[in-house]
Amino acid sequence: MNLFRYDSPLMQFLGRAADLIWVNLLVLVCSIPIFTIGASISAMENIIYKILHNEDVAVTREFFQAFAKNFKQATVVWLIILVVEGALGYDFYYSRQVGSNTSEAIMTVCVILFVLVFALMLYIFPMQSHYYNKTKDLFKNAIILVIVHPVRTLIMLFIQAAFIAIGFLIVLDYRFIPVLVCFCISLPWYFCACVHMPVFDKLDGVDKFGNKIAPETFKKESDSAEETEEPDPEVSDETEVENEDEVSDSEEEEKSGS
């Protein structure tokens, strides 16, 4: 096998890595104003979804299309999360300064809530990039997914925590900072997508190979089932009786007329 064929595993891996690097750079640039982080992550999720399903994707064009399309709602969602996380962080810092027994309990609650809100974010932006939902429904559905899929949620939290720790270690050694710039956002979200994507695939009607099942397929199957449905014998008998009565009535009218 020629390793340098365009369809070889090596070239597919390199192409996927190049897409992740480029989309990571786009996210970093588009997130500079801070309030655009939500739209950037949502657009990145749209690209990652297509990469995972081996779809041809023009990263730059489709990223900015998704960015513009989801900008309003994604920004509102991000600002809500940012305010909540900021408030929890402030409460944690203030309670730590106080240093009482009550403050330790408050700090524990703040940490738990902070992690839960972060877990919601790991579901919200993928959903926001794939489905049409009201903002309140995004949060409601994210809460449901966190509860229904606790193992997947814990795995994704572990992935994000591991990459944050790795990123912190890389910052201490400036020689590896280019690697951090290339993969700091797209790679952890890519692995998280590998974890939660089967849930969305089931909702989308996609098989395990990433092939979408068209809605017309289900429609045709249901229509054929209706066409092959056997007629009700009682209904057919009643119809035959009615037809016989109509024939007899018409014969009587003809006789009377003659």
Q: Is 220 within a domain?
A: no
- Note the pLDDT of residue 151: 95
- Note the pLDDT of residue 85: 94
Residues 207, 246, single domain; the answer is no
Residues 164, 120, single domain; the answer is yes
DSSP for 114-132 reads HHHHHHHHHHHHHHHHHS-
d(CA 253, CA 6): 83
Residues 14, 100, single domain; the answer is yes
Residues 55, 117, single domain; the answer is yes
Sorting pLDDT into bands at 50, 70 and 90, what band is 145? Answer: very high
- The amino acid that residue 144 corresponds to is I
d(CA 169, CA 146): 29
Q: What mean pLDDT do residues 3-18 have?
A: 76
- pLDDT tens, position by position, 120-137: 999 999 999 988 889 999
Q: Is 103 within a domain?
A: yes
Q: Give the residues across from 206 on adjacent strands.
A: 212
Q: Which of 5, 4, 17 is closest to 51 using CA atoms?
A: 17
- pLDDT tens, position by position, 84-119: 999 999 988 888 888 777 888 889 999 999 999 999
Residues 172, 253, single domain; the answer is no
Residues 58, 166, single domain; the answer is yes
Q: Which of 197, 202, 220 is closest to 55 using CA atoms?
A: 197
Q: Which of 40, 42, 51 is closest to 15 using CA atoms?
A: 51
> Is the pLDDT at 177 greater than 60, yes or no?
yes
Q: How many domains does the chain contain in total?
A: 2
Is residue 60 a contact partner of residue 97, using CB atoms and an 8 Å limit? Answer: no
> Is the pLDDT at 226 greater than 50, yes or no?
no
Domain that holds residue 246: 227-258
d(CA 169, CA 167): 5
Residues 186, 251, single domain; the answer is no
Residues 120, 232, single domain; the answer is no
d(CA 5, CA 3): 6
Q: Is 2 within a domain?
A: no
Q: What mean pLDDT do residues 139-151 have?
A: 94
